Amino acid sequence: MNLSWTQEQQMMRKMVQDFARTEISPFIEKMEKGEFPREILTKMGELGLMGIPIPEKYGGVEMDFPSYIIAIHELSKISATVGVILSVHTSVGTNPILYYGNEAQKQKYVPKLASGEYLGAFCLTEPSAGSDAGSLKSRAVVDSDHYVINGSKVFITNGGEADIYIVFASVDSKGISAFIVEKNTPGLIIGKDEQKMGLHGSRTVQLTFEDMRIPKGNLLGEEGQGLKIALGNLDVGRIGIAAQALGIAEAAYEAAVDYAKERVQFGKPIAHQQGVGFKLADMATNIEAAKLLVYRAAELRSLGLPCGKEASMAKLFASKTAMGVTTEAIQIFGGYGYTEDYPVERYFRDAKVTEIYEGTSEIQRIVISKQL
């Protein structure tokens, strides 16, 4: 066992912390009003942050998987919105092509995704297929050298901003298949922007496919391989979301500790009241446990070992921790925590979705229990 960070990983953490503080913090207010952080993503691309685990051969900086998780963790501490945009872009927007694409597809798309020139999105969920992804209804029909896709998707992160959409649709008699869809493809209709409780600067849209024609060469993997591709990449995606949740929890906890040490009532800082001190102790303990679960899953992944159970455990626990910690963090701030003058109410609103997307906590429990 070795619980110390490599030099590279320490450098990544510091670099991202500095970047987040100087480049992202000033933009928080605008993101809260719904503005998509396009400029921030451009700067991230310049720093190599949009292709952290991608091989150099395909335009990435080929750092280890834990370094990528560190980046999501530290970005999310300042902005869970930026954290999720990156996580979706890399884990489920780029990786499917990297792992299942043919050489031509990899050469065509991965370098641009890795550099940040292109933004990726992942389109699985439909109105009647959420947890039950396998029951999706979008259809892809062969028409000479094209597929024609009809259907709709919902809750697509980066939708409307992405250049590449990984789309899942059923090919009759073959089953669910994955397709690479470029933006502006005729028949790809960007629909409604969801108004969400949190993650305000992250665009979440509905998509409709109306006789959308894509070249046969854009089939990703084999026909019928789609669900395997989707669920296989969700493993990785879950570790990213777990890191996002961890970042949110840490940000809330640190704000609460600082406040509790400053705020004097009844003649002493409230941190010295057992009611508050014990609360902080519980928060800190859960965050430590979450951190270890997240980085343990990341390590297994980077070693190429099976990590499905560990990834689910990390996501389940870290998201639960984020929800619990942010709820208590507002509590520690008292009335002030309930106002928009302090960041804790934003952390609370952002935390909730980490228990829902990329597999609800209930689905995580199913994944875990099946492996016990």
Partner 1 sequence: MNFKLSEEHEMIRKMVRDFAKNEVAPTAGERDEEERFDREIFDKMAELGLTGIPWPEEYGGIGSDYLAYCITVEELSRVCASTGVTLSAHTSLAGWPIYKFGSEEQKQKFLRPMALGEKIGAYGLTEPGSGSDAGGMKTTARRDGDSYILNGSKIFITNGGIADIYVVFAVTDTTQKHNGTSAFIVEANTPGFSVGKKEKKLGIRSSPTTEIIFEDCRVPAENMLGQEGEGFKIAMMTLDGGRNGIAAQAVGIAQGALDAATDYAKERVQFGKPIALQQGIGFKLADMATSIEAARLLTYQAAWLESEGLPYGKESAMSKLFAGDTAMKVTTEAVQVFGGYGYTKDYPVERYMRDAKITQIYEGTQEIQRLVISRMITK
Q: Which residues bind partner 1 (CB under 8 A)?
A: 125, 128-132, 135, 154-155, 194-198, 265-266, 270, 273, 275-276, 323, 327, 330-331, 334-335, 337-341, 345, 348-349, 352-353, 355-357, 360-362, 365-366
Least distance to partner 1, CB of residue 343, Å: 11
Q: Annotated catalytic residue: which of 29, 126, 358, 362?
A: 358
Q: Angle at which helices 344-353 and 308-333 pack, to 10 degrees?
A: 150
Least distance to partner 1, CB of residue 155, Å: 5
Least distance to partner 1, CB of residue 128, Å: 8
Q: Which is nearer to partner 1, 203 or 296 (CB)?
A: 203
Q: Which is nearer to partner 1, 6 or 265 (CB)?
A: 265
Q: What is the DSSP string of 344-360?
A: HHHHHHHHHHTTTSSS-
Least distance to partner 1, CB of residue 222, Å: 25
Neighbours of 372 (CB within 10 A): 5
Least distance to partner 1, CB of residue 372, Å: 15
Q: Which is nearer to partner 1, 162 or 353 (CB)?
A: 353
- The first and second tokens of residue 105, run together, are 């597809």
Which of 15, 80, 68, 20 has the alpha carbon at shortest distance from 252? Answer: 80
Neighbours of 56 (CB within 10 A): 11
Q: Which is nearer to partner 1, 200 or 291 (CB)?
A: 200
The alpha carbon of residue 211 and the mean position of all alpha carbons in its chain are separated, in whole angstroms, by 30
Element (H, E) at 177: strand 175-182
Least distance to partner 1, CB of residue 69, Å: 24
d(CA 171, CA 192): 26
∠ Cα 122 85 330 (to 5°): 125
Q: Which is nearer to partner 1, 42 or 369 (CB)?
A: 369
Query: What residues have CB less than 8 Å from 91, skipping those under 6 apart?
Result: 233, 236, 237, 239, 240
∠ Cα 265 270 272 (to 5°): 125
Element (H, E) at 150: strand 146-157
Least distance to partner 1, CB of residue 113, Å: 25
Q: Which is nearer to partner 1, 208 or 331 (CB)?
A: 331
Which SS3 state, helix, strand or coil, does residue 141 take?
strand
Active site residue 222: no
Which SS3 state, helix, strand or coil, does residue 122 take?
strand
Q: Which is nearer to partner 1, 214 or 330 (CB)?
A: 330
Which SS3 state, helix, strand or coil, does residue 261 take?
helix
Which of 144, 136, 90 has the alpha carbon at shortest distance from 113? Answer: 90
Q: What is the DSSP string of 301-336?
A: HHTT---HHHHHHHHHHHHHHHHHHHHHHHHHHGGG
d(CA 126, CA 151): 9
Active site residues: 358
